[in-house]
């Protein structure tokens, strides 16, 4: 069995679904079910004995210790995190609590569990920490992409909290010997993504005929990684990654935000034409968020060289799959766009 934290969130739920589609090893799924955690993402696993869901917080050390003692997982895959930059600007305390204090509590529980193991169980145990390229800060237009050796320069409360968690994981390996691996990924997109992030926000707003808010000039550049490719990269690192190492997982798809929005509009014009006119008419430039990083880019050659991993999807293939998923799941979209979510949109965008 493996323990997955945050397995009802966007990337975590995709990972759980992908894992159980490919093998029969059970998953113990621990999620606090905050606003972005959604058990409907895992509806297809209802009644599946390979999936054990526990509603709980990674910061509840007594709970985590009990689960580790009871289920004795061979690995922990740690997704659980607060992950939205805009929300971190409005309320940084939750990011410090979950990303820093929660990771600390989880590491301590994992260290205690690992200390009880012996033989093959001890040598094969892994703690895989899932992080972000945002810890590296911002790149200039001609700067080389982030490698695993790039200095940390986080610029938002979110990225600072993730950088802190990365440092804790590294320290627990070097000080206590805990067998850890860390992954730093680029911007994910795909099914089940909560519509606060750029791509699902553009899709669901366009389908509703609502404005498509683009920060500033829309020339912020990101590397885009289809979530299924991210899941396969994490599997490769868990299976073959070297203890104590960091692996960047990227999609080799650098694109400015305004091009992403234009692509979504063009695909919707093709797949779901709007009688009122082209979807691009809805694009609305709004004031930029504070401290907005200009460019991220991932150099993913290390994971390719050492583990033989490369993304299977191009951006064109991945975004088409993503858009079709949202078109095919209107009930999921309607349910996540609750009153609480509408209140958040008003808080973040009303004065822009």
134 is catalytic: yes
Q: Per-residue pLDDT for 64 more than 80?
A: yes
Indicate the domain borders of the chain.
2-186+227-251+292-313
Predicted pLDDT at 341: 47
158 is catalytic: yes
Active-site annotation holder among 31, 57, 86, 134: 134
Q: Per-residue pLDDT for 50 more than 60?
A: yes
pLDDT tier, 343 (very low <50, low <70, confident <90, very high otherwise)? low
Q: Mean pLDDT of all residues in the chain?
A: 94
Phi/psi for 194 (5° steps) reads -65, 135
* Spatial distance between the Cα atoms of 339 and 322, rounded to a whole number of angstroms: 24
* pLDDT tens track for 75-99: 999 999 998 788 889 899 999 999 9
Predicted pLDDT at 297: 96
Average pLDDT over residues 163-169: 98
* Spatial distance between the Cα atoms of 224 and 141, rounded to a whole number of angstroms: 17
CATH code of the region 2-186+227-251+292-313: 3.40.50.720
Predicted pLDDT at 350: 65
176 is catalytic: no
* Residue 84 Cα distances to 98, 134, 195, angstroms: 13, 11, 11
Q: DSSP string covering 22-40, please?
A: H----EEEEE---TT--GG
> Of 193, 195, 219, whose CA–CA distance to 207 is shortest?
195
Name which residue leads in pLDDT, 64 or 33.
Answer: 64
Predicted pLDDT at 334: 87
Active-site annotation holder among 31, 57, 158, 166: 158
Active-site annotation holder among 82, 133, 166, 196: 133
| Percent of the chain residues past pLDDT 70, beyond the cut | 96
Predicted pLDDT at 86: 83
Predicted pLDDT at 342: 53
Q: Per-residue pLDDT for 338 more than 90?
A: no
Predicted pLDDT at 337: 78
Q: pTM value?
A: 0.94
Average pLDDT over residues 166-172: 98
């Amino acid at each position: 069995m493996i323990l997955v934290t945050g397995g009802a969130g966007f990337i975590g739920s995709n990972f759980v679904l992908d894992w159980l589609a490919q093998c029969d090893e059970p998953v113990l799924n621990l999620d606090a079910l905050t606003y972005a955690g959604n058990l409907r993402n895992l509806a297809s696993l209802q009644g599946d004995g390979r999936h054990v869901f526990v509603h709980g917080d990674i910061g509840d050390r007594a709970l985590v210790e009990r689960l580790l003692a009871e289920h004795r997982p061979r690995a922990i895959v740690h997704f659980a995190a607060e992950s939205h930059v805009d929300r971190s600007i409005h309320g940084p305390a939750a990011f410090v609590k979950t990303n820093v204090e929660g990771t600390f509590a989880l590491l301590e529980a994992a260290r205690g569990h690992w200390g009880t193991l012996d033989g093959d169980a001890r040598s094969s145990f892994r703690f895989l920490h899932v992080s972000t390229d945002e810890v590296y800060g911002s790149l200039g237009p001609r700067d080389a992409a982030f490698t695993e050796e790039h200095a940390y320069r986080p610029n938002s409360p979110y990225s600072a909290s993730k950088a802190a968690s990365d440092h804790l994981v590294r320290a627990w390996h070097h000080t206590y010997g805990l067998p850890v691996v860390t992954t730093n990924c680029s911007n994910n997109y795909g099914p089940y993504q909560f519509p606060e992030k750029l791509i699902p926000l553009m899709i669901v707003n366009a389908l509703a005929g609502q404005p498509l808010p683009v920060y500033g000039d829309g020339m912020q550049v990101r590397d885009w990684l289809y979530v299924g490719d991210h899941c396969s990269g994490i599997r490769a690192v868990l299976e073959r990654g070297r203890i104590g190492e960091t692996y960047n997982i990227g999609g080799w798809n650098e694109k400015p935000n305004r091009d992403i929005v234009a692509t979504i509009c063009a695909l919707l014009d093709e797949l779901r034409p709007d009688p009122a006119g082209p979807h691009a008419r809805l694009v609305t430039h709004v004031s930029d968020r504070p401290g907005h990083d200009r460019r991220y880019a991932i150099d993913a050659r290390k994971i390719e060289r050492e583990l033989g991993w490369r993304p299977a999807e191009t951006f064109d293939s991945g975004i088409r799959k993503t858009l079709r998923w949202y078109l095919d799941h209107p009930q999921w979209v309607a349910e996540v766009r609750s009153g609480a979510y509408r209140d958040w949109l008003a808080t973040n965008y009303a004065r822009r």
